[in-house]
């Protein structure tokens, strides 16, 4: 409470050279800029002090992780967000740390990078020495790496920029909803300002009714091109053609209500877990009850009687597979 934010552990696991420490440092910088109290635990500050008596045998490596887990628990109790960047090759040890700090305080990030790419990045030549037999028990060569089966976040560092990797940890697959209206245009402008001079690190998503003015579509395409961002389009016409929804008839026929099915189908197709949108509360009575983080279950449903508390700047982003936030 004194720090004004929750405390927990973000546990980075991955092969040597996968980018764990680099990613953890970039995330810590982002969190620090938000005024959050953080601390990084990695080989540089652990192996040189607390664990300098340990070698790289399997037994010592297990003890290494156990001690780090104990330190992380103490720091969580002191109100810190702890970022731990270690190979953590064994599933049993990661589960041990989760048990130590509490499942609710443990976020597992699998820094997923192919072995051949890690070897290319190895400026110290450790992989070459391990292949030559000069280093024993080297993870990925002479010692196994048990990849996390169900991590909270997976970051393929060989496919993403550092900025995109950080964004994936905060939310794995976010999008910004864009319709070409004034609310979404303002939100896109704010996102551009927030990440300038870098590009917006997440796609824009448009649910296309098929009834837009040509000028609106041209503006959308020109904007996406100028920003250099990816555009995801969900088509109401495609939903009609495939039988997902039925076209309304009559003089007051509209496709507005049909957009919901197209939106949910597009969210599921692209595994989106956060859809950011701009709306005015005076437009619709229900919106006045919604929070900043509007939790949706795996059917896309919102329960107004079961919303999560939002105390000052504290938000609960925990979700199960298939759920998302808007």
Active site residues: 88
Q: How far is CA 25 from CA 12, 160, 162, 212, in A?
A: 11, 16, 10, 44
Distance (Å, whole) CA 305 – CA 319: 17
Burial class (CB in 10 A: 0-12, 13-18, 19+), 226: exposed
DSSP strands (E only) in 156-258:
174-177, 204-208, 231-235
Q: How far is CA 128 from CA 57, 125, 213, in A?
A: 19, 5, 60
Q: Which residue has the tokens 């939100």?
A: 187
Contact present, 234 and 208 (Cβ < 8 Å): yes
């Amino acid at each position: 409470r004194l720090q004004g934010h929750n405390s927990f552990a973000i546990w980075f696991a991955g092969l040597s050279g996968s980018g764990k420490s680099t990613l953890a440092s970039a995330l810590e910088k982002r969190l620090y800029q938000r005024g959050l109290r953080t601390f990084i635990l990695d080989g540089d500050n652990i192996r040189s002090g607390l664990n300098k008596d340990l070698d790289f045998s399997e037994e010592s490596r297990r003890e290494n992780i156990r001690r780090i887990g104990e330190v992380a628990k103490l720091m969580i109790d002191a109100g810190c967000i702890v970022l731990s960047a270690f190979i953590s090759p064994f599933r049993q040890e990661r589960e041990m740390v989760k048990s130590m700090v509490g499942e609710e305080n443990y976020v597992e990030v699998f820094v997923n990078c192919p072995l051949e790419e890690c070897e290319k990045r190895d400026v110290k030549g450790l992989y070459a020495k391990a292949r030559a037999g000069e280093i024993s028990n080297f993870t990925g060569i002479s010692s196994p790496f048990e990849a996390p089966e169900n991590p909270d976040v997976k970051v393929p560092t060989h496919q993403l920029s550092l900025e995109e990797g950080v964004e994936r940890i905060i939310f794995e697959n976010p999008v910004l909803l864009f319709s070409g209206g004034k609310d979404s245009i303002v939100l896109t402008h704010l996102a551009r300002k927030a990440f300038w001079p870098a590009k917006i690190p997440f796609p824009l998503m448009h649910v296309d009714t098929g009834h837009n003015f040509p000028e609106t579509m041209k503006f959308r395409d020109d904007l996406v091109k100028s920003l250099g961002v990816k555009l995801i389009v969900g088509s109401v016409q495609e939903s009609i053609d495939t039988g997902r929804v039925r076209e309304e008839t009559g003089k007051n026929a509209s496709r507005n209500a049909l957009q919901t099915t197209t939106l949910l189908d597009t969210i599921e197709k692209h595994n989106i877990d956060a859809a950011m949108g701009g709306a005015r509360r005076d437009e619709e009575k229900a919106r006045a009850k919604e929070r900043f983080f509007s939790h949706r279950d795996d059917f896309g449903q919102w329960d107004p009687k079961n919303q999560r508390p939002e105390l000052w700047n504290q938000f609960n982003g925990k979700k199960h597979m298939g759920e998302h936030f808007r």
